[in-house]
Amino acid sequence: MTTDAGRTWGALTAVIAKAIEEQRCAYATNGTQRQQFHRLVASGILAKPYLNLYAPYDYWQQLSLCERHMHIMRALTLRHPKWIFAGMSALEAYGFEHSRYMHESAITVRSAWANCIGHPRSYKPRQSHHASTSGYISDSPLVQRSRQPLRYLYIPDDEFTVVQGMPVTSPVRTIIDAMNVSLFPHRLAIADSALAYGLSIDEIVDECGKLRMDCNAILTAFEYADQRSENGGESFMRAVLIQCGFQIPQIQVEFADPRRHGSVIRVDALISCADGRRIVIEFDGLQKYHDPDMSSRKSFEERITAQASRDRALFDIGISTIVHCYFEDLVQPERFIQKLVDARVPRPYYSRNV
């Protein structure tokens, strides 16, 4: 750090420290501070993730995409207290399951302007280069983007609530808006999470009936939704099975553990075949091996050994085949599909229209 940068950092230390404590970005409140922040950005000391928002570079790199989104939202709430977050941003505030790739770089807020046309910060949207993977369709007639980047979602009337200190659209409206611009795997993960949150399909149907939008894709996702799904990865895994016409599995099935009297083994998904075979499908995201919270602080080698022991126990109770699905298999679903084909998972349809 140069001498000038060091002096500038010293002048902003309290501002930045308070922002980190509150898990948000720092921001300038006057022209002098803005110039000081810019100098630190130019020196590589700070990151500038959003207009007039800043965070220490190393600190920012350690945050997940979802955590970054929340840091930006918390700062914007202080700067623009009348803003009501909507769509994917509201989804993040509630903590509903979703893919981190759905955020792109935009914050979504409610707008009372009809289709946002004429909004002082709106401009003609363009197709996002992330659309094919994120499922967030940037040229939706209800969605506009601005140079901030800020996405306005036209919601003329909806009761907002405050979640984690931020004003957001109602849970039902948030779910519908997020699912309306998502692909089926994302919709299913959100629907699973919505049911686990306590929302009912009747609430979704009632709200859809009030809106001038085609909600068929949303309602279809809820037909396949299951609140027992434990995370978005399991929902994505099930979505591939559904989309590609495979037999729909039972989920979170428990078996008596032959290794320990009174204990159970719970599997992510079970397919009982007409020929008597029983196929277990497990979502084993790499995070299970590398995140201490998900592996009870066991080492990587211990976790692998425990997984092998678990597999042997499942075979001992009559499971015919175990298919392990990894995060990479969901990024490249053709890999997962080939695993299912190799395991001879029943496939009554070539695909389902979801």
**pLDDT tens string 103-153:** 666 899 998 775 554 343 433 333 333 333 233 223 333 333 334 678 888
Tokens of 151: 């996405």
Cβ-contact 193, 171 below 8 angstroms: no
Interatomic CA distance for residues 123 and 146, integer angstroms: 6
In this structure, the answer to whether residues 138 and 276 fall within a common structural domain is: no
Same domain, residue pair 128 and 152: yes
Distance, first Cα to last Cα, the chain: 55
**Same domain flag for 57 and 82:** no
Report yes or no on 192 lying in a domain.
yes
SS3 280: strand
SS3 content of the chain, % helix, strand, coil (to 5): 45, 15, 35
CA gap 320, 333 in Å, rounded:
23
Q: Give strand pairing partners of 325.
A: 283
Residue 203's pLDDT band (boundaries 50, 70, 90)? very high
Task: Find tokens 């009297």 and name the residue.
Answer: 261
In this structure, the answer to whether residues 192 and 265 fall within a common structural domain is: no
CA distances in angstroms from 306 to 94, 303, 324, listed in the order given: 34, 5, 14
For residue 196 the two structure tokens come to 């686990």
Domain boundary among the residues 191, 224, 257 is at 224
Look at the alpha carbons of 155, 156, 159, 164 in this order and tell me if their dihedral is positive or negative.
Answer: positive
Q: How confident is the model at residue 225 (pLDDT cuts 50, 70, 90)?
A: very high
Tell me if 352 is assigned to some domain.
Answer: no
> Would you say residue 334 lies in a domain?
yes
Distance CA 144, CA 119 (A): 10
**Domain boundary, last residue among 17, 41, 63:** 63
Last residue of a domain, one of 177, 197, 224: 224
Out of 137-141, 161-165, 178-182, pick the least confident: 137-141
Torsion angle of the four alpha carbons 18, 23, 28, 34, in this order, in degrees rounded to the nearest 10: 100
Is the confidence at residue 33, as pLDDT, over 90? yes
Q: What is the pLDDT of residue 331?
A: 86
243: domain range?
Answer: 233-342
Judgement on whether residues 101 and 198 belong to the same structural domain of the protein: yes
**22 domain residue, yes or no:** yes
What angle in degrees, to the nearest 10, is found between the helix axes of 171-180 and 184-197?
Answer: 170
The predicted structure's pLDDT at residue 214: 86
Over 60: is that where the pLDDT of 171 sits?
A: yes
For residue 46, the surrounding DSSP H or E stretch is strand 46-50
The residue behind tokens 């109602």 is: 170
Please give the Cα distance from 143 to 182 (Å, whole number): 13
What letter represents residue 73's amino acid? M
Q: What is the pLDDT of residue 105?
A: 67
Q: Are 92 and 99 in contact (CB under 8 A)?
A: no
Q: What is the CATH number of the domain that holds 317?
A: 3.40.1350
Domain count, the chain: 3
- The torsion of the CA quartet 49, 51, 54, 59, rounded to 10 degrees, works out to -10
Residues 132 and 217 in one domain: yes
- What confidence score (pLDDT) does residue 1 get? 56
Q: Residue 354 domain-assigned?
A: no
The pTM (predicted TM-score) of the whole model is: 0.82
Distance of alpha carbon 297 from alpha carbon 91, whole angstroms? 30
Please tell me whether residues 194 and 265 are part of one structural domain: no
189 and 247 co-located in one domain: no
Is the pLDDT reported for residue 23 higher than 50?
yes
Q: What's phi and psi for 296, nearest 5 deg?
A: 50, 35
Label residue 297 exposed, middle or buried (CB < 10 Å: 0-12, 13-18, 19+): exposed
Same domain as 205, residue 125: yes
Report the range of poorest mean pLDDT among 39-48, 292-301, 325-334, 344-353.
292-301
Q: 291 exposed, middle or buried (CB, 10 Å; 0-12, 13-18, 19+)?
A: exposed
Please tell me whether residues 219 and 240 are part of one structural domain.
Answer: no
- Is residue 168 in a domain? yes
pLDDT at 71: 96
- Statement to judge: residues 81 and 207 lie in one domain: yes
Please check whether residues 203 and 170 belong to one and the same domain: yes
**DSSP code at position 145:** E
Mean pLDDT of the chain: 85
* CA 314 and chain centroid, separation: 31
Per-residue confidence (pLDDT) for residue 106, from 0 to 100: 84
Specify if 325 maps to a domain: yes
- Within-domain flag for 68: no
Residue 317 has pLDDT above 90, yes or no: yes
Give the range among 11-15, 30-34, 43-47 with minimum mean pLDDT: 11-15
The sign of the torsion formed by the CA atoms of 165, 168, 172, 174 equals negative
Query: Residue 7: its pLDDT value, please?
Result: 62
* pLDDT score recorded for residue 135: 30
Residue 195 has pLDDT above 70, yes or no: yes
